[in-house]
Amino acid sequence: MDAATIVDELLEWSIVGSFSRIGLAVRHLAFGWATIPDGSLEGRTALVTGPTSGLGRATTEALARLGARVILVGRSPDRLAALRDELQEAYGGGRFPIVVADMGSLASVRAAAAQILETESRLDVLVDNAGAIHSERTVGPDGIEATLATLVIGPFALVSSLLGLLRRTPGSRVVAVTSGGMYFQRLDLDDLQSEAEPFSGSRAYARAKRAQVALVREWARHLGTGSVAINAMHPGWADTPGLAESLPGFYQLMGPLLRTPAQGADTIVWLAATRAGRARSGALYLDRRPRPFDRLPGTQLSPSDRRRLWDAVVGLAGIPDPLPET
């Protein structure tokens, strides 16, 4: 094991050192990260959900700078239009189409997918970034708890609907943006909709993110090699509006050590734009390196658990299984 890997492992065990801006800075130097050249994504199309703030905004700007056509998928027409105008002014017009969609509504997701399939001839990158934390248990328009609907069911339906387009695009990849908080929660497959105990928004969010990562592993198992690469990443602790609103005490405590949104988005962009970022499928990344899926005993999902989760999500999404067992 070389010195850089030893340093990386020590940071990973420390958690604070790993997830804060310290870990990113040290790894950048230790591994000699190469800058992704401007223009790397010219002629390619990316889609980002939740692009108007935080990590989504930083990701969108980075992909635009690399030359990509970026489909902006979000709930607010006004915020999407404002972002489109800013991007066009900064990077040139004509390559930032807007798709209005609420990831917590299956009808909205289906309509968005239909619009994309009608207007786009290729899809090189899909970044599943949109998220929300609710202070009280809320049921969405499809009768599904809103956190699970927005972070798990809606994105699953979107990827399923666009799978054919992704498969027709050489070198395509999906990047799911998760959270380090998922390491500290066990997913209860008998209570995916948070009905059995007093509701906690942060706990429901972390459990939904654990489900998201488990589904990434199932997608990769089903798709196999040589098809669409799908990976998860977590950005570490980044200074975003979502963190400030949902965990104000933690936000204040860790303020000086939080990563900027651009630093948190670095691995998203690396997975989206580089050959190395597509070398594996079904992995979880932090700072451009694959990481363990589990840290605590009792939080692991077995292969049969992941299959059970997949079947449950297919049922909640109300769609045919996009990749049935053969």
Q: Is the pLDDT of residue 310 over 90?
A: yes
Annotated catalytic residue within 91, 205, 251, 285 = 205
Query: Residue 244's pLDDT band (boundaries 50, 70, 90)?
Result: confident
User: pTM of the predicted model, to two decimals?
Assistant: 0.96
Tens of pLDDT, residues 131-156: 989 989 999 999 999 999 999 999 99
> Strand, coil or helix: what is 48?
strand
**How is the beta sheet containing 284-286 ordered, strand by strand?**
98-100, 69-74, 45-49, 125-128, 173-177, 229-233, 284-286, 289-291
> Strand, coil or helix: what is 49?
strand
Element (H, E) at 205: helix 201-223
Assign domain 42-317 to a CATH class: alpha beta
Residue-averaged pLDDT of the chain: 95
Q: Which pLDDT belongs to residue 326?
A: 66
Tens of pLDDT, residues 3-49: 999 999 999 999 999 999 999 999 999 999 999 998 999 999 999 99
For tokens 């002014």, name the residue. 89
> What residue spans define the domains of the chain?
1-33, 42-317
Q: Is the pLDDT of residue 242 over 90?
A: no
Query: Which of 217, 114, 223, 99 has its CA nearest to residue 167?
Result: 223
Give Cα 151 to chain centroid, integer Å.
Answer: 9
The one-letter amino acid at 262: A
> Strand, coil or helix: what is 258?
coil
The one-letter amino acid at 280: R
Please confirm, yes or no, whether 205 is among the known catalytic residues: yes
Task: Compute how many other C-beta atoms are within 10 angstroms of the C-beta atom of residue 53.
Answer: 15
Q: Which pLDDT belongs to residue 40?
A: 96
Cα-based torsion angle of the residue sequence 73, 109, 216, 1 in order, rounded to the nearest 10 degrees? 0
